[in-house]
C-alpha cells in the first residue's frame, strides 16, 4: 500500500528551529515529486513547495520561499520541512503529499495524515 | 485571498444535486491548465476526487463529476449523501507564480 507517514505533533517556542518528516512507503520514492501543504486552524490549503528526491530539484511557492527549507534523503525515502526560527504564525497542520503530473499539471494523489505544529510562548 | 475563488458554502438535501464553482484567471484556469478537486472530511487529510479537470481516480463514485470552461471550473455531486458533508477544494497551477500549485479557498458542503 502506498502511504506517507509523517512525524508526530510538535510544540515549540517562537525563535526555535524545527524539522518535520514524511516517509514514503510502497512506491519508488525517487520517481515522484513530494511536497508540503499548510493548513492553518480553520483555514484552507496553502501549497508550500515540492522536491524531487531523485535529484533534489526543489520548487517553492513565492509565499514560502526563504521562510522554510524542503529537503529529502532518498536513502531513507524521507522528505523534510524545516524552519530555522519559528513564529507563532507558523502554527498549523502540515501535510506532505505525493505529486503527480508535470510542471503546470501537478496534482496530489497520496497524502500523509498531517503534522500539527504549535508555536507558542 | 486565494488565487482561485470558491463559494464559502453550499448546501443540499440528501438525493439532490449540488455544484461548487471555482473561478480563476487567464494565468491559471484560463491559460488552459487543468483543475483538480479534493475532498477533506472533518479532521482528516484531503483526498483526491478529480484530476485532469474531469477524471476520477479509482474508488471515487461516479456521483462526483467535474467540468472546466474558460476561466472557471465546477464540481458536481449528484445523489447527495450525508457522508459527502466535507470541505471541497479546487487546485490548478499559476503562470504568474512560476507554475506554483494554487488552491481555491475551499467550500463547505452541508447536507441538510
* Tens-digit pLDDT profile for residues B3-33: 999 999 999 999 999 999 999 999 999 999 9
Whether the pLDDT of residue B1 is over 90: the answer is: no
Whether the pLDDT of residue A118 is over 90: the answer is: yes
Q: Which of A59, A104, A113 sits opposite B45 (nearest CB)?
A: A113
What are A106's three cell numbers? Answer: 501537478
Short-list A12, A15, A9, CA closest to A120: A12
* Tens-digit pLDDT profile for residues A4-41: 999 999 999 999 999 999 999 999 999 999 999 999 99
In angstroms, the CA A25 to CA A41 distance is 28
Q: How far is B17 from chain A (nearest CA, A)?
A: 24
| Chain B environment of A100 (Cβ under 8 Å) | 51
Q: Which residues contact A83 (CB under 8 A, 6 or more apart)?
A: A17, A18, A19, A67, A68, A69, A90
Dihedral in degrees, nearest 10, Cα atoms B103, A29, A59, A16: 90
- Please check whether residue B56 touches A, CB under 8 A: no
In angstroms, the CA B104 to CA B102 distance is 7
Q: How far is B16 from chain A (nearest CA, A)?
A: 26
Summarize the confidence of residues B46-51 as an average pLDDT: 97
Q: How far is B12 from chain A (nearest CA, A)?
A: 22
B92: left (phi over 0), alpha (psi -120 to 50) or beta: beta
* Tens-digit pLDDT profile for residues A74-95: 999 999 999 999 999 999 999 9
In angstroms, the CA A27 to CA A33 distance is 12
Q: Which of A103, A107, A114 sits opposite B91 (nearest CB)?
A: A107
CB A35 within 8 A of CB A108: yes
In angstroms, the CA A20 to CA A6 distance is 8
CB B17 within 8 A of CB B109: no
Tell me whether residue A42 is exposed, middle or buried, using C-beta atoms within 10 angstroms of its C-beta: 0 to 12, 13 to 18, 19 or more: exposed
Percent of chain B with pLDDT over 90: 96
Q: Report CA torsion sign: A107, A110, A38, A6.
A: negative
Whether the pLDDT of residue A67 is over 90: the answer is: yes
Phi, psi angles (nearest 5°) of residue B29: -60, -45
- Please check whether residue B88 touches A, CB under 8 A: no
Amino acid at each position: 500500500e502506498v502511504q506517507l507517514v509523517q512525524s508526530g505533533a510538535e510544540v515549540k517556542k517562537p525563535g526555535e528551529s524545527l524539522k518535520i518528516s514524511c516517509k514514503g512507503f510502497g512506491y519508488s520514492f525517487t520517481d515522484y515529486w513530494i511536497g508540503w501543504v499548510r493548513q492553518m486552524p480553520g483555514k484552507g490549503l496553502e501549497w508550500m513547495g515540492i522536491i524531487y528526491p531523485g535529484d533534489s530539484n526543489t520548487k517553492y511557492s513565492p509565499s514560502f520561499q526563504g521562510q522554510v527549507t524542503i529537503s529529502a534523503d532518498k536513502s531513507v525515502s524521507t522528505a523534510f520541512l524545516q524552519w530555522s526560527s519559528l513564529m507563532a504564525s507558523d502554527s498549523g497542520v502540515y501535510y506532505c503529499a505525493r505529486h503527480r503530473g508535470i510542471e503546470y499539471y501537478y496534482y496530489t494523489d497520496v497524502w500523509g495524515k498531517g503534522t500539527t505544529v504549535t508555536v507558542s510562548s | 485571498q486565494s488565487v482561485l475563488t470558491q463559494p464559502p458554502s453550499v448546501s443540499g438535501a440528501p438525493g439532490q444535486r449540488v455544484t461548487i464553482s471555482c473561478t480563476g484567471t487567464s494565468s491559471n484556469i484560463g491559460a488552459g491548465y487543468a483543475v483538480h478537486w479534493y475532498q477533506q472530511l472533518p479532521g482528516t487529510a484531503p483526498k483526491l476526487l478529480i484530476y485532469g479537470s474531469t477524471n476520477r481516480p479509482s474508488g471515487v463514485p461516479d456521483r462526483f463529476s467535474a467540468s472546466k470552461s474558460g476561466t472557471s471550473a465546477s464540481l458536481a455531486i449528484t445523489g447527495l449523501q450525508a457522508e459527502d458533508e466535507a470541505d471541497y477544494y479546487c487546485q490548478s497551477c499559476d503562470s504568474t507564480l512560476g507554475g506554483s500549485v494554487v488552491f481555491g479557498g475551499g467550500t463547505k458542503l452541508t447536507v441538510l
